[in-house]
Amino acid sequence: MNQQTAKSDEDMERRLAAYVGRQYGAIYAWDRVNAPMIRHWAEALDYDYPLLDPEIAKSTRHRELVAPASMLQVWLMPGLKNERPAGSDLSDPRELFKILEEHGYIGIIATDCDQEYFRPLKVGELITTSTIVEKVSERKNTRLGPGYFTTFLQEYHDEQGGVVGTMRLRILRYHPEGQKAEAAPERPAPPQPGISQDTAQFWEGLKQNKLLIQKCSDCGTLIHPPEPVCRNCQSLDLGTIEASGKGTVFSFVVAHHPKVAAFDYPHPIGLVELDEGVRIVAPLTGVDPGEIEIGMKVVVEFDNVEGQNRLPKFRPS
């Protein structure tokens, strides 16, 4: 570090020190502690939370349903719109990171998080949170590069102002000196289907730019997805016909989350009713998701890549 850089960092450290002890908040929870959210959280984590059973809850020292302690942070989440309830302090305790970014400390990683719970939360309670910038370390040399550790202390309060729990979060902002820029990873292939003897003809047809539909040789029923026997007459004598590839959008959905690296988003997926009468699920392409309509006329488009099995796509005709 040269003399000029050292002087610059000293000035930066003085500015950072001014934030230590600064308090932000309060931020209010959107909802009071409630049983449905406890149930949804437990189900999402595949956690068989025993106190959801009223009889078990009555037999505990609490005598009623209380929230799992590790849900503490959940009650204060802003939601998908990243908005806060009226009256919440919207100032950001991470504003001091702008100073570090100005001096090239652009790398960021959370190094540890410690939570402490003082009492369980009962159904009907409304909690708030406030954050204190507890500490900014001196400049440290790490394997990622030189940087500064900032510790935030987040306190959770009940409606009487009592502290029900705390969380300490430590974040490293570092200067990625000497690190080679990583090349952008190659786009992965879409998830590959499981192919059986019954469905193999469909996938082989796509590789030849053919949309093959299974047909019963005895009763003429068209079947999709392919099955081992005719669903109408139970015949085992099954063949295929080549569909025209023309159809209409019978239903559709536009996927936004979760994002899979193999696809572009938003990702429209249609249930297309072919002119032959069967329906097929496939991506929709060549149209803005907001312009897709039920009944829209579409035509098949093949998306073949060597060594991969891919669904056909449908675009407006």
In sequence order, the 6+-apart residues with CB closer than 8 A to the CB of 104 are 175
User: What pLDDT is attached to residue 6?
Assistant: 61
User: What pLDDT is attached to residue 183?
Assistant: 59
CA nearest neighbour of 113 among 148, 63, 84, 73? 73
User: What pLDDT is attached to residue 194?
Assistant: 86
Structure tokens at 262: 């193999």
Quote the percentage of the chain above a pLDDT of 90: 81
Homologous superfamily, domain 3-174: Hotdog Thioesterase (3.10.129.10)
- Contact status, residue 27 vs residue 128, Cβ threshold 8 Å: yes
User: What pLDDT is attached to residue 129?
Assistant: 97
pLDDT (tens digit per residue) in 211-260: 999 999 999 999 999 999 999 999 999 999 999 999 999 999 999 988 88
pLDDT (tens digit per residue) in 108-133: 999 999 999 999 999 999 999 999 99
User: What pLDDT is attached to residue 37?
Assistant: 96
To the nearest 10°, the Cα dihedral for 78, 83, 85, 86? 160
Quote the percentage of the chain above a pLDDT of 70: 95
Query: Over the chain, what HEC string results?
Result: CCHHHHHHHHHHHHHHHCCCCCEEEEEECCCCCCHHHHHHHHHHCCCCCHHHCHHHHHHCCCCCCECCHHHCCHHHCCCCCCCCCCCCCCCCHHHHHHHHHHCCCCEEEEEEEEEEECCCCECCCCCEEEEEEEEECCCEEECCEEEEEEEEEEEEECCCCCEEEEEEEEEEEECCCCCCCCCCCCCCCCCCCCCCCCCHHHHHHHHCCCCEEEEECCCCCEECCCCCCCCCCCCCCEEEEECCCEEEEEEEEEECCCCCCCCCCCEEEEEEEECCCCEEEEEECCCCHHHCCCCCEEEEECCCCCCCCCCCEEEEC
Write down how long the chain is.
Answer: 317
Question: Whole-angstrom Cα distance, residue 249 to residue 266?
Answer: 18
- Sketch the domain layout of the chain as residue ranges: 3-174, 200-316
Question: Whole-angstrom Cα distance, residue 240 to residue 225?
Answer: 12
Question: Long-range CB contacts (< 8 A, 24+ apart) of 60-66?
Answer: 62/120, 62/122, 64/122, 64/123, 65/35, 65/38, 65/122, 65/123, 66/120, 66/121, 66/122, 66/123
Fold of 200-316: OB fold (Dihydrolipoamide Acetyltransferase, E2P) (2.40.50)
Structure tokens at 128: 């708030």
Question: Whole-angstrom Cα distance, residue 158 to residue 167?
Answer: 15
Q: What is the pLDDT tens value at each position of the chain, 317 positions in all?
A: 555 556 677 889 999 999 999 999 899 999 999 999 999 999 999 999 999 999 999 999 999 999 999 999 999 999 888 899 999 999 999 999 999 999 999 999 999 999 999 999 999 999 999 999 999 999 999 999 999 999 999 999 999 999 999 999 999 999 987 555 555 567 788 888 888 989 999 999 999 999 999 999 999 999 999 999 999 999 999 999 999 999 999 999 999 988 888 888 999 999 999 999 999 999 999 999 999 999 999 999 998 877 788 889 999 99
- Contact status, residue 272 vs residue 298, Cβ threshold 8 Å: yes
User: What pLDDT is attached to residue 180?
Assistant: 57
